[in-house]
Amino acid sequence: MTVIDRYAVFGNPIKHSKSPRIHKLFSEQTEQSLVYEAQEVPAEQFSSAVKTFFADGGKGLNCTIPLKELAWAFADHKTARAHLAKAVNTLALQADGSILGDNTDGVGLITDLISNHGIKLTDRKVLILGAGGATRGIIKPLLEQSVKSIVIANRTLEKAIDLANEFVNLGNIVGCGFEGLNNQQFDLILNATSTSLTGQIPPLPANLLSEKGVCYDLAYSNEPTTFVRWGQKNNALKSLDGLGMLVEQAAEAFFIWRGVRPITEPVIKLLNDERPR
């Protein structure tokens, strides 16, 4: 009997996730035989759910909101980028039975910004809203693109300051609260808060976006998110959501698990075409 390799995404909430669809498209494109499911897992059940998944023969997991820091703590060993981020979105069963933790969010975002949307990052002033698991994964990859500076603004001020301090040796980065954004301007504003999930937006001052500035919501939705609409209202050159990042980070996870790199462009196009107009 042939046993099909099993993969899954754990998160809470998870109903909206497009990851199962994306991995199905990848597996068809690359002719890899596998199944990939979404499972709602509250944080307090994370450890037991992961143990059960791998004990039952699972090969790899994605972990999303709010589980990335827990996945980091769970992994037996981690890649350098995951180690630094202290957040893991990909768990992979190794040949010796151990679990490797990786973080593919950063490479997913950078590939989407640069390769898919032609956005220049060198010398840009970047604002990241939010200081959670997603922000942890994207700071170093952004600094590696020689951005001029990064400001992290968060509802809980201490988290923004602590996070910026963790990366201060790698570049020009500071943390603040939303009120600390008054009289500042940025070339790229990334929304890495989870506010889009509830149709909210952090309190942002006027004139925050520079002329020809770009807005990017890491969240994605069939309708333009509240932050994408904020970008449009504030004359962003481009105001994008995170669908492309989602596909790119998934492609990197697929490569880690299967050793085969899917072509992302047709998958992004298909998912975009399916959005209501």
29 is a site residue for ligand NDP (CB under 6 A): no
Is residue 108 within the footprint of ligand NDP (CB under 6 A)?
yes
Rule CB under 6 A: choose which of 92, 107, 192, 204 binds ligand NDP.
192
List the alpha helices (DSSP H) in 79-218: 80-85, 105-111, 133-144, 157-167
Give residue for tokens 């199944």.
35
Residue of the chain from 34, 61, 208, 219 that contacts ligand NDP (CB under 6 A) = 219
Q: Using N-to-C axis directions, what is the helix angle for 265-273 and 243-258, rounded to 10°?
A: 140
Furthest CA-CA distance within the chain: 65
Q: Decide if residue 197 touches ligand NDP (CB under 6 A).
A: yes
Q: Toward ligand NDP, which CB reaches closer, 66 or 180?
A: 66
Selected binder of ligand NDP within 240, 245, 251, 268 (CB under 6 A): 245
Candidate residues 17, 62, 103, 196; the one interacting with ligand NDP per rule CB under 6 A = 196
Q: Return the exposure string of 191-215: e unless at least 16 CB atoms fall within 10 Å of the residue's CB, then b.
A: bbbbbbeeeebbebeeebbbeebbb
Rounded distance, CA 196 to CA 219, Å? 6
Q: Tell whether residue 239 is a contact of ligand NDP (CB under 6 A).
A: no
Q: Select the residue interacting with ligand NDP from 47, 172, 194, 234 (CB under 6 A).
A: 194
Rank residues 249 and 264 by Cβ distance to ligand NDP and give the closer one: 249
* Residue 201 neighbours by CB under 8 Å, 6+ apart: 191, 195, 226, 227, 230
Beta bridge partners of 176: 153
Listed in sequence order, the DSSP H helices in 189-225 are: none
Strand partners, 173: 150
Residues numbered 50 to 79 that lie near ligand NDP (CB under 6 A) are 65-66, 68
Residue 193 interacts with ligand NDP (CB under 6 A)? yes
- Give catalytic status of residue 86 as yes or no: no
Catalytic residue from among 68, 78, 233, 269: 68
Main-chain dihedrals φ then ψ at residue 85, nearest 5 degrees: -70, -25
Which of 161, 127, 163 has the alpha carbon at shortest distance from 147?
A: 127
**Shortest Å distance, C-beta 56 to ligand NDP:** 26
Identify which of residues 149 and 194 has a Cβ nearer to ligand NDP in the complex: 194
Q: CB under 6 A: which stretch of 35-43, 164-172, 216-224, 257-265 binds ligand NDP?
A: 216-224
**Residue with smaller CB distance to ligand NDP, 43 or 80:** 43
| Residue among 197, 196, 202, 198 nearest 226 (CA) | 196
Q: Among residues 97 and 204, whose Cβ is nearest to ligand NDP?
A: 204
Q: Which residues are catalytic?
A: 68
Question: Would you tell me which residues interact with ligand NDP (CB under 6 A)?
Answer: 65-66, 68, 105, 108, 130-135, 154-156, 159, 192-197, 200, 202, 218-220, 242, 245-246, 249
